[in-house]
Structure 1
Amino acid sequence: MYKDSVVPVKTETFSGVVAKSPINQCIRTVLMRACLEKRLTVGLVPAIQYLSQNSNGALFCITAEAPPGDSATHMQEVLLQAFCVENGIYSIKVDSEVKLKKLLGCCTAGLDFSCLLVHYPYADPFSDSQEIDLSILTDSERDLVSHCDSNWGCSQLPVIKLPEK
């Protein structure tokens, strides 16, 4: 049903590479750019700490599926997703923490990759505005916003399958 969750095809140049934008490629592009621009929080506990001080600074909250039987992590993720909905932060669920780790291994090593926060570019942390200025987002970020808008209010988020490589 959610087979690669494809959005309308667009192209974006990032590091000299032109990529088509299925959702999994958008996630990859957004995460790599956020990592390079130092607007990424890695790990469930650091994400919760960041959000407790600055709920307006996060654009996306990306979580990996919790391993079966890990009820403590599952409860933290459910509470985090509820917080994100309440504060207008787009939530995305992906299929694998290992794939996230491989994807961003160049930026950070030895960290918990069960949750990633992508900070809003050029966000004013003291602004009370919940309005997102789409004009400053990249095409991939806009595609992810559109994907999240189409799933807003769903009781369960679709799980995006990340590329193997």
Structure 2
Amino acid sequence: MYKDSVVPVKAESFSGMAAKSPINQCIKTVLRRACVEKRLTVGLLPAIQYLSQGNNSALFCLTAEAPPGDSATHMQEVLLQAFCEENDIYVIKVDSEVKLRNMLGCRTSTMDFGCLLVHYPYTDPFSDSQEFDLSALSDAERDLIEHCEMNWGHTQAPVIKLPEK
């Protein structure tokens, strides 16, 4: 049943233009850039805590499917996704927590990679104003936004199949 809900990734971009990179490559690029720029919250509980503090700087919420039988995690994910949708945070479902961990180069399994929040870039990271600089979004971030906009409002978001490597 789960494998049937995984959407195979197509090679075209979501900008309607010639293919730049597949959506799974966009995810990898966005995650690595956000990690370097310290715009990433890793883990389901840290993400929930961050969002519960009234922070509205999240651009994307990437979630991996909860393991079968883990109803508590599944309930938290459903609530988190509902919160994100209500607050205009793009939700992207992926097929594997392990693949997310590997994309970021983390080989240890002690951290929870079931949920990642990618935050907006700021105009000045040393400023107290915390204004978003939308012009600082990368092409990969723009492609992910376009992908999310195409799927906004669907009852079941597609699950992106990430590459094995």
d(CA) in 1 for partners of 2:128, 2:56 = 6
Q: Where does structure 1 lack aligned partners over 5 or more consecutive residues? A: 11-18
Q: Is the 8 A contact 2:121 2:133 kept in 1?
A: no
CA distances 1:86-123 after superposition (whole Å, capped 9, x unpaired): 10000000000011111113498731000000011107
Matches within 5 A, 1:118-129: 118-122=118-122
Q: Give TM-score scaled by structure 1 length.
A: 0.83
Amino acid at match of 1:27: I
Partner-residue secondary structure (3-state), 2:67: coil
CA contact (8 A) 1:54 1:125 kept: no
Distance across 2 between alignment mates of 1:8 and 1:50: 31
The structural deviation recorded for 1:8 is 2.7
Q: For the structure 1 residues 145 and 9, does the alpha-carbon distance in structure 2 shift closer, same or farther, using more than 3 Å as the test?
A: closer
Match of 1:63, SS state, is strand
Q: 1:107 to 1:45 in 2, by over 3 A?
A: same
- The DSSP-based 3-state class of the residue aligned with 1:30 is helix
Other-structure match for 2:9: 4
Structure with bigger strand share is 1
Partner Cα distance (1:151, 1:161) in 2: 16
Alignment of 1:17-28 (within 5 A): 20-28=20-28
1:112 corresponds in structure 2 to 112
Q: In 1, distance between residues paired with 2:9 and 2:46?
A: 29
The answer to whether the 8 Å contact 1:39/1:118 transfers is yes
SS of the equivalent of 1:110 reads coil
**For 1:30-84, what per-residue CA distance to the aligned partner results, in whole angstroms no more than 9, with x for missing partners?**
0000001111000000000111114411000000011111111111000000000
| Aligned positions, number | 154
- TM-score by structure 2 length? 0.83
Given that 1:57 and 1:125 are in contact with CA atoms closer than 8 Å, whether structure 2 keeps it comes out as: no
Q: Secondary structure at the match of 1:122?
A: coil
Name the residue aligned to 1:60: 60
Corresponding residue number in structure 1 for 2:3: none
- Within the alignment, does 1:74 sit opposite 2:74 as a pair? yes
Distance 1:80 1:7, change over 3 A: farther
Q: Which residue number corresponds to residue 86 of structure 1?
A: 86
Query: What is aligned with 1:101?
Result: 101
Asked if the contact 1:41–1:118 (Cα under 8 Å) also holds between the matched residues in 2, the reply is yes
Aligned-residue identity in percent: 70
Shift of 1:21: 1.6
